[in-house]
Amino acid sequence: MSDTVLIPGGRDVRATLDTAASDASADAPSADAVVVACPPHPQQRGHRGDERLVAVSDAVTDRGVDCLRFDYGDWDEGYGETTDADRAVGWARERYDRVGLFGFSFGGTVALVAAASRPELTGVCALAPTARLNPDTDAVEALGDIVDRGVPVRVLYAARDSTADWEPVVERATELGVETVAFESDHFFVGRSGKVGEAVAAFLGPRLRDGS
């Protein structure tokens, strides 16, 4: 079951809450954990219905975890979009015991940057993240902050990706001992969305269900 959610704040941020139980609602979810999912670049038609986000949602809801897929507000060079993710996490924290964060491409970078100031997160997964959103927002630096705060993190990437500047993120993750997962794919993971969803759910699912 899915509900439409309006994320509070100064920007128009709308989301879809996919619930693991058919009798749940946005006001009274039956699951005690959720994954917040950040879409790819909004100026390149990225939105909450992106097939990689839907695949992650399907995989985590199958494991008893809800998923909140949101759209960014008006384009703001990555600054407002990071705020949107933080507010979506805040919304989730008010309703769930445990919150995980996921993002794809631009959204993967948003997820990493937002997670750097959210030590209460249970886990973070970034799929094909770009190294930067803008001159002030660096996913490579954010990775170090996430690790310092003890938040589990996994970086997934496509070995044949020539679209996103993902290499610096993966290199830094390797230096920090962060788990990385490579897919033999291009940036769009054509035909592999299901496997992406399972890889994300395999990492976040047990942590979100068990709190460990």
User: pLDDT tens digits, residue range 70-104?
Assistant: 999 999 999 999 999 999 999 999 999 999 999 99
pLDDT value, residue 212: 61
Query: Is residue 176 a contact partner of residue 146, using CB atoms and an 8 Å limit?
Result: no
The model's confidence at residue 34, banded by pLDDT at 50, 70 and 90, is very high
The model's confidence at residue 137, banded by pLDDT at 50, 70 and 90, is very high
CA distance 128 to 110: 12
Is residue 28 over pLDDT 80? no
- Spatial CA neighbour of 161 closest among 200, 104, 101, 202: 104
∠ CA 93-97-98 to the nearest 5 degrees? 80
Query: What's the pTM?
Result: 0.95
CA distance 107 to 127: 8
CA distance 93 to 33: 9
CA distance 131 to 167: 8
